[in-house]
Each structure stands twice: as C-alpha cells, then as structure tokens.
Amino acid sequence: MRARIMKIGWRIGWHEYIPDMARTGKPAGTTCFLARGGDGHWAGGVSTSGWAYKHPGRLGDSPVIGAGLYVDERYGAAGCTQTGEMTIRAGTARAVVAYLKRGASVGEACSEAIDDLRALKGGYLGPVIVHAVDREGDPAVLGFRLAKEANYWYWREGMDSPECRSVVNAGC
C-alpha cells in the first residue's frame, strides 16, 4: 500500500545575492522544507548556509534548535532562511510556533516574529524569510529586509503539481 503524503514545502535561494548553482556550479541556496505525512505527523528540515565562500567557522541558524527550524505538531512548524545571525538572536522559528500556540493566525505569527527581528539593534543585520504552517497546513511566508522579490513553492495533497508563490515583503 502506498502511503498518502501531504507535502508543504518551500525552497528559497540566495538568488538576489549569489548566482545560483545551475548557472555557476557552486552551492548557492538555503532550503526549508515543512511537511505533514498522511498519518498527520509533521516534520521539517533546513539546510545550513548556502552562502558561498562564507567566513570559516560561521555557524548558521539551521543547527540551532528554535532559531532556523522548529516543529510542534500541536501548533505548527516554522523555518527560516537567509541571515541566520538574526534568527539565532531572536529565536525566530520557535517564536512563530509560540505565537501560534497563543492563538495567532499563521500570518500574524510570522508578522510578530518579524517585529522581533525588527527590534534587533547592532550586530549583523540582513534579510530573513520566515516560512510557517499552522497545524491545519495553512502557510505563510514573509520576508524582512528583502532587496528583491523572492518566491517559494507550495504543494498540498490534491494539487497536481507545486505552485510557485511570492513571498510577502514585510518591509525593513
């Protein structure tokens, strides 16, 4: 018997900063994937730093629990791409899920987490994209400090193929 899987995932690259791998052969993107299986269990994954020629020893937010990725089946899941230095300081992925727990919609939760990022002063400040789904699978993807338009892919059970959607720019 084939398992039914509902896929909700995104891929955001650093295309506005670094030429992509297809054209240059060099790694150039961060991937965030949030998915719910046919059994209702959630999972998530985020790659760590597609930043080519990064500073030696730089740690991205992906391996820091609650910064670049956080999944709680009771409320939803969130992942972040781009400037991990900011999401580490704000605990962004965990904050999104905490806002969901408090009753915020997925869009409101992302907006609140971006307000947390906006409050950061000093240190390395750059663009961040927050990807989230609530426990029902409703998505929101908001960008902060984006210089150019960004897109993500969305695929839900019953859809023939994934859809490319625009990231909502939440400003600077």
Which of the residues 30, 81, 87, 92 is marked catalytic? 30
CATH of the domain at 115: 3.60.20.30
**Are 68 and 99 a contacting pair, CB within 8 Å?**
no
pLDDT in tens, 119-169: 999 888 889 999 999 999 999 999 999 888 888 888 888 889 888 999 999
Reading the block at residue 67, the tokens are 């910064």
Distance CA 22, CA 1 (A): 36
For 24, the domain range is 5-169
Number of domains observed in the structure of the chain: 1
Task: List, in sequence order, every residue forming a beta bridge with 120; answer none if it has no partner.
Answer: none
Per DSSP, the residues of 12-44 read EE-TTTS--HHHHSS--EEEEEEEEETTS-EEE
30 given a catalytic annotation? yes
Give pLDDT tens digits for 63-120: 788 889 999 999 999 999 888 889 999 999 999 999 999 999 999 999 999 999 999 9
The residue to which tokens 């409703």 are assigned: 138
